[in-house]
Structure 1
Amino acid sequence: MQLFSVEYWNSVPDNTFWAWCVGALAAGAGGLYWFLRSVQRARTISDVPTSRIRSAPQGYVELIGTGRALQGPPIVSPLSGQHCLWYSYQIDERSSYGNSGERGWKTIERATSDALFSIEDGTGFCIVDPEGAQVIPHVDRRWYGNSREPLTGLRIRRGRYRFREQRLEQDWPLYAIGEFRTLGIPIPDNGVEVAALLRELKRDPQRMKAFDRDGDGQVDKGEWELARYWANREVRRRAVEDAPPEAHSLLSRGSAQRAYILSGKSEDELVRRYRLHALAGLAALLAGLPMAIWMLLARFAA
């Protein structure tokens, strides 16, 4: 083959040579990155144990459950009009480009939803923030049409417009791995609730006796500070108990650099997927890097 001929690489113009060389190096570097990234993600998914939402620790966790919509305005995919948890879409238009008039595809519109939804596993709810996540959807559709409207003038293979829509569906199984944290319950700074509870305490002599540590029938300054401390903790306890369960936890990308994945595929399917990606990256590395080295040697060491 010409690509493995020393004479060929010595005869091609410089711009052609360097274009091929840079391309081979890029393929090798990209393959290395893809290989390492995919191996790391497959290992992470395999190693992190599945947590139950009610007892999940703070930090990096894996959750498996069912995706649910939150109360409020529904999330609707603009292309199909389907209700969902998450969507991403892209519209391409066939157009001419360059002096040769070659035809290709130009992206004219794309968008990805960032609305919150939740995951339920039978022990509780966890709010999911999809921003920054790698999403493997339940539904991934591609179609063509002769109209800018996505559901009119449909064609199977040809058309002026090309549409793609990805969705995470409501009430379907959902796999998630990311940063889990319990949300704080805000307490007003003016202490209105604390003051009201202390007034209530003053009107109940029997309860006030609990803070009269020396038994002299009076609550002195130090004992009153103890009562204030108790009132603060009681207000916080009541706030947590009265808050809706789904507001207690959040799954998000967080500040860590670890993988944040939301997937319509199961854990086993994801591990197989990333292992196949790792093999593809390794193939690109083993093809691109030796090719670049061969080209440089053929050109400059012959």
Structure 2
Amino acid sequence: MEELLIGLALSLVASVGGGWWGLRRLSQARHLLDTPTSKIRSAAQGYVEFYGVLEEQADTAIVAPLTGKPCLWWRFKIEEYRSNGKNRSWRVVESGRSEGWLLLGDGTGHCLIDPRGAEVRPATREVWRGNLRHPRGVARSGWMALLDGGKSYRYTEERLHSGQPLYAIGEFRSSGGGRQGFDPSVAQGAVIREWKGDFAGLLQRFDSDRNGQLDDQEWSRVRLAAQLEAEDRHRQHSQRPARHHMGKPGEAQPFILASAGEDELARQFYWQAAGGALLCLAGALAMAWLLGESWPS
């Protein structure tokens, strides 16, 4: 009976997990194909996709932790080989990823990208083995890598480098350059709330009769001054050069940064969705078989 329950539980997990994964990948593929490619200079605010080239940022130096190679973004994983009788497996003992912003250019402008929360799929990936918990030096290649076959640690490092192409889809926002809308009442209210934080200073500026209170006439002056201040701030902010940013969408939309193009990504997601559907079907068939075998004849 216990073996039956374990089998049913595993079959249920496979069916539900496979179905969820398949639907998720199918939805992501549709998002990629349905979202038109935009240019950074003219992109609308909201959910967009860009094609461009990664560029270095001034005064920003990033070095990958395992190989020590300069890059713009990295992710690493260290696994240890464990052997306990017949059970042999690689177990992750350490992992991490960088959170530094990326700079993407597409010929029309530049966009800063916050990679936190993104599914990053870089083209550069190195895997090698060694005897130390933390490797020293770069990964071996060619026939030298064959000498590491008996090592007890396996290292994986992925990187994004300057000059590499990048496909990015996520939430796009701009500031400066006159891109923001201006709501006079909201901006005026924000200035008044700011001034109320220093009420003594507010009284000093607008309490004409020095009675420690602001009457209706004095409040009218406060509102007029706040309106003028809000308009001046908006004018100054609009004169700044436009700055573009991309980050994780607030809704359940994919946030992907990849060296591969949209069509290749969508094709991979469709295959993964098909794999999820097959796993879901296999789990359902296994549950049906187990229930049929346990049913009294």
TM-score by length of 2: 0.76
SS in 2 for 1:143: strand
| Counterpart residue number, 2:275 | 280
| Counterpart residue number, 1:104 | 89
Q: What is the CA distance between 1:263 and its match in structure 2?
A: 0.6
Is 2:151 the partner of 1:169? no
| Counterpart residue number, 1:125 | 110
SS in 1 for 2:20: helix
Q: What is the CA distance between 1:172 and its match in structure 2?
A: 0.7
User: What amino acid is the match of 1:126?
Assistant: C
| Counterpart residue number, 1:142 | 127
Mark the runs of 5 or more structure 2 residues left unpaired by the alignment: 181-189, 196-219
Aligned partners of 1:30 and 1:231: how far apart in 2? 56
Picking from 75, 78, 102, the partner of 1:88 is 75
Give yes or no for contact 1:138–1:168 (8 Å, CA) kept in 2.
yes
Picking from 251, 257, 271, the partner of 2:266 is 271
Give yes or no for contact 1:70–1:116 (8 Å, CA) kept in 2.
no
Relative to structure 1, the CA distance from residue 95 to residue 150 in structure 2 (aligned partners, 3 Å threshold; closer, same or farther) is: farther
SS in 2 for 1:63: strand
Aligned partners of 1:152 and 1:70: how far apart in 2? 24
Picking from 19, 42, 52, the partner of 2:6 is 19
Picking from 90, 97, 100, the partner of 1:115 is 100
Give yes or no for contact 1:75–1:84 (8 Å, CA) kept in 2.
yes
Picking from 128, 152, 159, the partner of 2:151 is 159
Identity %: 34
Aligned partners of 2:26 and 2:226: how far apart in 1? 55
Aligned partners of 1:86 and 1:290: how far apart in 2? 43
Picking from 279, 291, 295, the partner of 1:296 is 291
Relative to structure 1, the CA distance from residue 301 to residue 67 in structure 2 (aligned partners, 3 Å threshold; closer, same or farther) is: farther
Aligned partners of 2:88 and 2:295: how far apart in 1? 38
Aligned partners of 2:258 and 2:239: how far apart in 1? 32
Give yes or no for contact 1:145–1:152 (8 Å, CA) kept in 2.
no
SS in 1 for 2:41: helix
Give yes or no for contact 1:178–1:260 (8 Å, CA) kept in 2.
yes
RMSD of aligned Cα (Å): 2.9
Mark the runs of 5 or more structure 1 residues left unpaired by the alignment: 1-13, 191-221
Measured against aligned partners, the alpha-carbon deviations of 1:279-299 in whole angstroms (never above 9, x if no partner) come to 111111121111112211220
Aligned partners of 1:96 and 1:45: how far apart in 2? 42
User: What amino acid is the match of 1:162?
Assistant: R
* Number of aligned residue pairs: 253
Measured against aligned partners, the alpha-carbon deviations of 1:239-261 in whole angstroms (never above 9, x if no partner) come to 33334x4xx22111132111111
Aligned partners of 1:106 and 1:228: how far apart in 2? 61
